[in-house]
Amino acid sequence: LDLFPGVPCWSPSGRLVRIADEGGARVLAVGERPLTGPQLHVRAVLDVTEDDVLVSASAGAEAESPETGEVHVYRVNELGVERVSQEPGVHSAVRAGGVTVLVSAALDRPGARARVRRDGKETATVTSYAEDPGLTPRVTLVEGGARKIPCAVLMPQDYAGDSPLPVLLDPYGGPHGQRVVAAHNPHLTSQWFADQGFAVVVADGRGTPGRSPAWEKAVRDDLAAVVLQDQVDALQALAEDFPLDLSRVGIRGWSFGGYLAALAVLRRPDVFHAAVVGAPVTDLRLYDTHYQERYLGHPDEQPAVYRRNSLVDDEGLVDAAEPHRPMMIIHGLADDNVVVAHSLRLSSALLAAGRPHEVLPLSGVTHMTPQETVAENLLRLQLDFLRRALKLG
């Protein structure tokens, strides 16, 4: 069962409005009739009137252009589909009383711009007083490898192309988390790391949203091998077109991204040489039922599936390969989402296996680090670890 914003709902005439997977595409349907096809991947219903349905959607499998990382707003009815947003970027909207407020983010400017439209014409712009972040991402959005994995590559602002750069993968990589987006602010942290001398790679492999139903559902019974392989494939494909030093590859991530970072150095140490592992899920039996059972089934019925996808089990590390790679584990002790027992079990298993690692416990911190000073210093500690682990001088 897939849940989408704005649906199910009823049209003013009493017809059911829904988003459905039909013919390999994610479509808008009103009543029994699909109103969109494989050109669009419908993501949310924003408003419903008797005349049309306002939706947000990204490019579908049969779109003329992949429009990597973009999300647009469309008016849809029985007569066809009309794009409301025009410029490249990530767009959403609200509509009421004949007035549409279009909110747009783009790669070339920080924050979001809100414009008021009536009768198809722009009538006003809502001024933003958000603080300028002071960073401008030097980002290229591309597709990598045979599966055309959506990727973002970020280079240092002062990079002149004189030599290959050490690489830092910065993924989320799992369900419900799209990181490759055509917007400025989501790339700020990655750009900060790039400005410290890395080529930063972000790849949205199978399991991430925004591409197709099959792409999202490819991780059924396999949150490990499929997801990790796409990171490896994207990295190796991008190295053909970008100055990446594959002898110095680090990876960092948080939550599912932390799980993926640990998975990378434990199972593919031939590719990855150091990992920053933030708030990772390590024993999948310990995580939320509604999330894990959606992808892996019931643990009592599929114990082998849970073991294969976990980093640790009751016997220690699962399928860990040689050689050992440096790992920094970070976890908030007040985390009520991914409880700290996950990181404690991973550290215990690493110790039992004779694998040196670093553990950074964060007192009073939950799953994320909203405190400005803590967040800033945490980035600096990660940078220090990566420089030491990758021997960057």
Give per-residue pLDDT as tens, 2-30: 899 999 999 999 999 999 999 999 999 99
Query: Is 90 exceeded by the pLDDT of residue 369?
Result: no
* Set 72, 335, 342, 347: catalytic member: 335
For the question of residue 298 being annotated catalytic, the response is no
Query: Is 80 exceeded by the pLDDT of residue 247?
Result: yes
Per CATH, the homologous superfamily of domain 139-389 is Alpha/Beta hydrolase fold, catalytic domain (3.40.50.1820)
Note the pLDDT tens digit of each residue in 206-223: 999 999 999 999 999 999
* Set 92, 212, 255, 343: catalytic member: 255
pLDDT-derived band at 140, boundaries 50, 70, 90: very high
Do the beta carbons of residue 138 and residue 194 sit within 8 Å?
Answer: yes
For the question of residue 335 being annotated catalytic, the response is yes
Q: Where are the domains of the chain?
A: 9-93, 139-389
**How do 244-254 and 165-169 pair as beta strands?**
parallel
Query: Is 80 exceeded by the pLDDT of residue 107?
Result: yes
Which residue's entry shows tokens 């410029």?
87
Which residue's entry shows tokens 């930063």?
200
Please give the share of the chain, as a percent, with pLDDT higher than 90: 95
For the question of residue 255 being annotated catalytic, the response is yes
What mean pLDDT value characterizes the chain? 97
Query: Is 80 exceeded by the pLDDT of residue 393?
Result: no
Burial of 369 (0-12, 13-18, 19+ CB in 10 A): buried
